[in-house]
A and B are shown apart, each in its own frame.
Chain A
Amino acid sequence: MLEHYWSVTTSLLPFLWKGFLETFYVSLVAIVVGSLIGALIGVVRSQRIPLLTGLFGLYIHVLRGTPFLVQLYVFYFVLPNTGISWLSWDSRTAAFVALSVYTSSYVAEIIKAAIEAVPRGQSEAATALGMNRIQRLWYVVFPQALKLTVPPMSSVYVMIIKSTAILSVVGISELTRQGEVSILRYPRDILFIYGLIAFIYFLYCYPVLRFARWAERRVGMARTVDLD
């Protein structure tokens, strides 16, 4: 019994490792690209620029109000169907773009909240010293806001890692997909293989979750599920 599971594990480990590397890669791309887009949107939204704030607000609500699976289908089926040539991408590009865009909606709100959490007096004092808007943000607000973003950004990173599993439905060879392929080889061990996959995700996510909790105690910013 135990020997059987051991042999299944050792024969599958190279495949699952390949899947894990893809999961790792996708999640890394999504957090980097998503943070860049999200930071831009968050900064603009925190500045209350009339038209842009509303427009980006709509962007965020659309992305947070629909399931990631549905968004993935839109990026995978609908956008290549529009007839615009550069949107007729392959499944891997669709998956990467979908996850990055999804990530950006969460990052934007974190950045906005962090900027607004810096006391107003800081910005006003900078104004009194004759700094312009860019200087105030860059030298006074950002450095103080940055540390506030660490705990919620870690939580978002875990959320991204978990969302990469959904990419298996459009055929991306990440961890879950590699597991499904492995099950074709060992159909009787389906439960064991899914358990193994869950364990690998756990090894990736749990340290990040611990870090988020540690950072939260240091920074003291609440991490609740809140709609606004």
Chain B
Amino acid sequence: MLVYYYDGTFEGLLTSVFEAYERKEQPESILPPHASAGLFAHTHEVVTCAKKSERVWNGVKKIGGVLTCEHLYYTFLSQEEGFEMHFLRYCQHLFTCNRPVMKDLANADVLKVFQLSRKVGREAHRILMFLRFEQAADGTYFAPYAPKYDVIPLVTGHFRERFADQTWVVFDSVRNYGVMYDSKNDTVEKFTINDPAFDVETGKLQPDAEHPEEDNWQLLWRTYFKSMAITERKNLKLQRNFMPKRFWKYLTEKRI
């Protein structure tokens, strides 16, 4: 059994695709570092190479177009266990057919890539829906969130365009990193914090770090949220369908 090890990066994965082609072999699985390959596995270490990965990526772009690239990149962001082999076989199918294959949905790998990318896209959209900013004492708008997939790269553009005149921070509390947008210079910067000034459980800023008017706006929002519900039509199951409970802990109107 042949197993490829790659470094877990997107470039590393593309390099693996290249090497499988170059070495004329088909691995049984492609694993990130620290994953266990099993007892009798014959392993090959893939060394990430910018040149090789670029060649693969350019080929994908040329044959498949932008949409194919998007599907594959989103699939990578899903980080679902074993997604690498679907990724590899999708690329191989694409190069064999030499035309876009994203519509060949009866092919198991194409379907899987399509479904994974849709999952990631949906999660990104949910972040646009359920992210809640709180104003800090210095005027910065701060929003923690805990997404299933690493979707920060997919949502910054939206907030950058929309909140161009305010300084904001979006923080992924699962992966422990965030981005900060500076409205003066129109720049987005990545950062990590070790000692957060907010409650990780509720996402709430500590009282002294909070803008004096913040509580007032939150109260208004909760008032509004409550008074919009029509009691005769109460349907909590429907509410949970649309707004899964895993988002509640950071929602101003839902957290305790």
Q: Do A and B bind each other?
A: no
